[in-house]
Chain A
């Protein structure tokens, strides 16, 4: 199945080493609507920003911060924010995710009239940076790299329903499916669908995507130079195949900036021109800086508590429901997100409604917002006879946000008569909860910020509700949910598919295999004389600087 990553990740590792208390002078009770383009942080899901007004003036060169240095330009190894941010600027997939999450044509158009066949036709005149045309061979080669075990790529499993991939014409590629698979369509608008130049990749061999091997893609920007630890420089591709796109920024330099205090100073001093972040501890400071614009946009990620074991008290669904009810989510949103997050009704963010929007919105509104209700929670604990039982929370006191959330969960547990132990590990070892059953053995659950590769609530949910889901640690298995999810995977009609997913989601909110905490908003931070960058989480998967330019 398809796997999601853990966004706590290396940033926080680096953060813990920083020892830098970021100066947060202002109180956190304001909702951060300080800037005109801010999408607001009310609970109204539909008001989320996805784009910013297009820039109007050419700009020579900007510096864009990523939370750590980019490790690879090879899409099959792209799994985290820095790699995705850079690769999505340089490279393009067969299909393309619009800022609102809808999937349209990318390098190719899709004919899916036969449910077991995805027929891609390359757009005329599509070329790589070096001018050579993109061929069906390049497409087949690029897709098959994902499943080549020798390469050890991270996306092999998303091709599980693929029978074969064939070039069926000069500019036509057919993906034959064992069963209909709408999820694969989503994945092919993301990293697994990126097309690389076969000849170039074969020449570079295992060096492809490294500082010495470089990259060869089709995107509106091309790699200029990459000095590890310093700067990864990209320059506008003036022979870009899509002649309707004219990026205004000449060069974009990427700089790894693990320290939030350094990033904030860099923005204020004008040494950094922009970045995509979330849960930034200095958000207030940047919002009040006159030369910085903060745009809060649709996020596709979910901040949640993973119930990793049903063997302890959390095996009783009433205890899970009670814990969820007792949680002070607004406190988490104010403290961790400085207000830049939504109070959830379900497990997947409104940002992920890339199709069937009305269906999702209706179902979402029917679910109550997860506000605190201690009385009701206490009753559930009594019914379950769980008073005085102990839950153990996996956390890391070195990871600030996770420590805050663990504290909130402990307060919630204690408020309803449970006891809570915190099991703290080092920042570097927090990852082991996700990958090592031994590390999970002593805990009832741990914290995550998770997202899918495309705008579909199913992209995240599938990993935790399907019995073989990569993040189904507890062995959660509700046959109704599973059958709804499988139906959704093969359903071509977007509204019907959305209904299946929404129905599954409703059942899940009863079962609470994970407890949602907040929906982080996407934080786009730019110098105030820049505008036009994609405002939603779609920046992770498709070119985001086509309209970026100077203002005024």
Chain B
């Protein structure tokens, strides 16, 4: 991989339990606010035993959306997409004139998860025979394409927890290669009974608010949300009157080839992904102002991630935002990339929520414990996933 051209981020939208927009989320992060609670959207056994980071406010701007009869994951994505388009100072008419692609990472919102389909059949119902309709109502990529009249490539990335980061990296390559003028890219996921029950079955779900990188960490908490990036070509950028939010400078991805749910102990997969992203961006380790880590609060992830960060970026402060948002699965890579750009703009990173007690096995690599000023215009956002997927984005803002 050789250095590649940076791709312009014209606008960003973000929604999560920390806030219904990117700006509100960042304000909440800097205030150190955390809002874990019992899940409202599905039954739990026993009720409310494990905290989630749920979006409890009404968020969906139905009066601005045509595609209303869609699942919550799609509504989250549409809400963030509208914010991204507004943020770029663009509108639907502008997009209609462009070759627009859509690349979205998700777990819950892919065609595969069609709960209504399975439940109806399971209960002996007599559902209508229109599989395409049923499958596609759950697919945020198709829903966004229909809403914004996108006529270019569509891709729903289902790389588990790295899907949102992967989607942004893949979308950037569509822009570079000239396949698209604009790509609506990001990640989205809602809270879901299958993932909630599944993570509990793996004994990696903390029954208290999660504590990434802490000595007493017990696992993750699930969250929900979406973040959407509006990526544009250099030609299209000339028609955008607002200043770009930033740039996707590099992307790297690998697989651990080790275990379906465990992180490779030597961290080799993550190191290779970081190396690819840095090489693509053409930047050196010393140029990285900070790292927005995956930091789930699970024992293995935090141990291996912290060791890799200490090896590769000994000078760079790092933090996890999972303590503010929960683990939003397919959305996490995109939400954390959005936070990364916002932190670069602000020149400040938030305290790593939930971290109080250093883990001797992680030391001297500890996340920041309070809001910190940073200098520099380039940062790294990384996500690790089931299946051993590692996705790393090198992001920057204008000099």
Note whether A and B form a binding pair: no
Report B's interface with A, CB cutoff 8 A.
none
